[in-house]
Amino acid sequence: MGDDLAVSNANRSYSLAATSIAIFTFMLIFLYPRFASGEVSALLFQATLVVMGVATFSFVFASLHYYGSSLGGPRMDDAERARYSRRGDRFWLLGYTLLFLDPSLILFSVGLVVVGSAWFALWLVYVLFVIRYFPRVQTSHKS
């Protein structure tokens, strides 16, 4: 992975982590009062917050690994840089996949089952697409 691409990936992951934190905060502002009053499903609301937390930390870990792969220098050979990039790819994929799952969890928790099911079906299509194509776009071992 080139230095420019690694830095770009680190910045992109960092931005997605910040976006995840913003979404998490807005969920608390708008949904917590409904959770406290019993209007939303307690289990789904808490699961949604856990999913957002894991997604956020996945993006942070992806940023760390992409940053590590951009350092290079005498302390890190190309094989180790590629290893850091692949780990970053995997953390990024986990975060992105969970971030895309979140809308369906929110919709289910507020009782919009039909719309939540549509979002969940789209998420399943995305997961199938990722299973098929992610190995092709992941950082190669030789980088």
Q: What are phi and psi of 7, to 5 degrees?
A: -65, -40
Check if the beta carbon of residue 109 is closer than 8 Å to that of residue 48. yes
Backbone torsion region of residue 140, taken as left when φ is above 0, otherwise alpha when ψ lies between -120 and 50, otherwise beta:
beta
3 contact partners, CB below 8 Å, separation of at least 6? 70, 72
DSSP for residue 42:
H
Is the overall model pTM greater than 0.85, yes or no? Answer: no
**Reported confidence tier of residue 73, pLDDT bands at 50, 70, 90:** low
pLDDT of residue 46: 94
Q: Greatest CA span in the chain, whole angstroms?
A: 58
**Reported confidence tier of residue 143, pLDDT bands at 50, 70, 90:** very low
Stretch 23-28: mean pLDDT, rounded? 86
Residue 65 has pLDDT above 90, yes or no: no
Stretch 17-26: mean pLDDT, rounded? 85
DSSP for residue 140:
P
Stretch 82-105: mean pLDDT, rounded? 91
